[in-house]
A and B are shown apart, each in its own frame.
Chain A
Amino acid sequence: MKKTPLADTHEKLGARMVDFAGWYMPVQYIGLREEHNNVRTNVGLFDVSHMGEIRVKGPKAVETLEWLTTNDVSKLNDGEAQYSLLPNDQGGLVDDIIVYCLSKDSDYLVCVNASNKDKDFAWMTKHNKGSDMTDESDLWGQIAIQGPKALELCDRVFDIKVSEMKSFTVKSGTFKGHKIMIATTGYTGEKGCEVFVEAAGTADLWMTLLETGKDLGCMGIGLGARDTLRTEMKYSLYGHEIDDTTNPYEAGLGWVIKPAKKDFMNKAQIVGKKEAGLTRNLVGFKMLEKGIPRQGYSLFSFDNKEIGKVTSGTHSPTLDEPIGIAFIDVAYAKEGTEFLLDIRGRKVKAVVCKTPFVTK
């Protein structure tokens, strides 16, 4: 199993460690619900060092990224970040990513999912249009700081005034002599940022944040709460809402596809599917009867037609009720539409609802 620079720190803090996509990661410290609620009310720290970082540099950097990604890289100025997608050659997705512009036209950092890093790097290398591309994943630790008190904590710890940064921007600096990049991005729906830090400084930064944020209720947050927090916001997770077969328009990601602006990998097939008419939508739903939705459960109409599949489901700690995300036939995708969910052979009523489940 691969270890992040924080593995020993998690063990010392008493985290329960699990194998997550080949990484030795904390699933929880004191309990999922407590950690989840703490991020919604105070501030929490997430070890996201397992995420991959791929650096794309040189005069061909923009041309390469424009071809590889669906969003418009050319409009990014110094210090701006962008959510984007890597389309494959089958009409699906290699991954969902964030592109950081460190220096316009010449220096970009692409943050990719841990479970996809090797696949992504191989794919990007294969379709490189002459940029200088390197896998920097081992160089960087990454800590996400999220919650209503996150910015106050950041302003205590960093020279960079994070509270004055706009959303989806990135600034470079140092922490105790270690290089850092602070990005105002996140995966919880709360205020906060994600800090890339030179691997050797990761543990020191983690402990400094924990100590400095004690009076703000700062605590470590495991992968369990990371998943419930993102599900409440209906944020996609690769392997659940999106994979190598997903058309991004069906997954509600049309806002990061800019076909009018540029050409990109397999554009015709991705846009063509939209023009031909989408057959399914990604929706949020709630239960009208007892039971918890889980990935893979089937959705049925009242006349017993299979109309979809659950991509993510959990008991929402914030709402204290079950919530689910599913692909559903377009005819049933309207808010308020009732359907049946097959929970291990038992069919129970559920209803398409408004998302995000939790509004901030």
Chain B
Amino acid sequence: MAFHIPEDYYYTKEHEWAQVDENIVTVGITEFAQDQLGEVVYVELPEEGQKITQGQTFGVIESVKAVSDLYAPVSGTVIEVNASLGDDPSVLNDDPVNEGWLVRIEMDTEKELANLMRAPDYKKLISEK
């Protein structure tokens, strides 16, 4: 199975992606994650203004069978939440790396990016699964 893994994104070992634009980070789940989850039926996301911490859970994603926690790739403040997911979480299966983004975060410090994986490492991680 060939997953689309954008080269310019950062990745967590829990299968979140982070796209960095200056100090704004958009966060979502990878194609590998949605494939493992199966059909997504519910997403629980933080509120705008909420502070989140790298490596800590910031929300929950549920498929028919399973509940999975979402882990923050960086610390910061949530400045935007993808509201359309509440009505139609299936976007997360169809297009998790674009339309299915979850939150945008104003990042506290760029230093934390060093703790994340780049695309080649992430590809290696999922090829071992």
Contact = CB atoms under 8 A, between A and B. Distances in A.
A72 interface: no
A112 B92 CA distance: 39
A31 B38 contact: yes
Interface stretch (B11-19, B48-56, B57-65, B107-115): B57-65
Contact of B41 (A27, A31, A292, A344): A292
Interface of B: 38-39, 41-42, 44, 60, 62-65, 67
Contacts of A224: 38, 64-65
B42 A314 contact: no
Contacts of B64: 32-33, 224, 228, 314-315, 317
Contacts of A315: 41-42, 62, 64
Contacts of B41: 292, 315
B62 A292 contact: yes
A290 to B, nearest CB: 7
Contacts of A290: 42
The B contact surface, by secondary structure, is strand
A32 B42 contact: no
A141 B29 CA distance: 39
A228 B66 CA distance: 12
Contacts, number: 34
A33 B39 CA distance: 8
A255 to B, nearest CB: 30
The A contact surface, by secondary structure, is mixed
A280 interface: no
A151 B41 CA distance: 33
B45 to A, nearest CB: 12
B18 to A, nearest CB: 24
A291 interface: yes
Contacts of A31: 38-39
Contacts of A292: 41-42, 62, 67
B96 to A, nearest CB: 16
B84 to A, nearest CB: 15
Contacts of A309: none
A338 interface: no
A285 B64 CA distance: 17
Contacts of B39: 31-33
19 contacts: A27-B65, A28-B38, A31-B39, A32-B38, A32-B64, A32-B65, A33-B39, A224-B38, A227-B65, A228-B65, A292-B41, A292-B42, A294-B67, A314-B65, A315-B41, A315-B42, A315-B64, A317-B64, A322-B42
Contacts of B60: 344
A27 B35 CA distance: 13
Interface string A137-167: 0000000000000000000000000000000
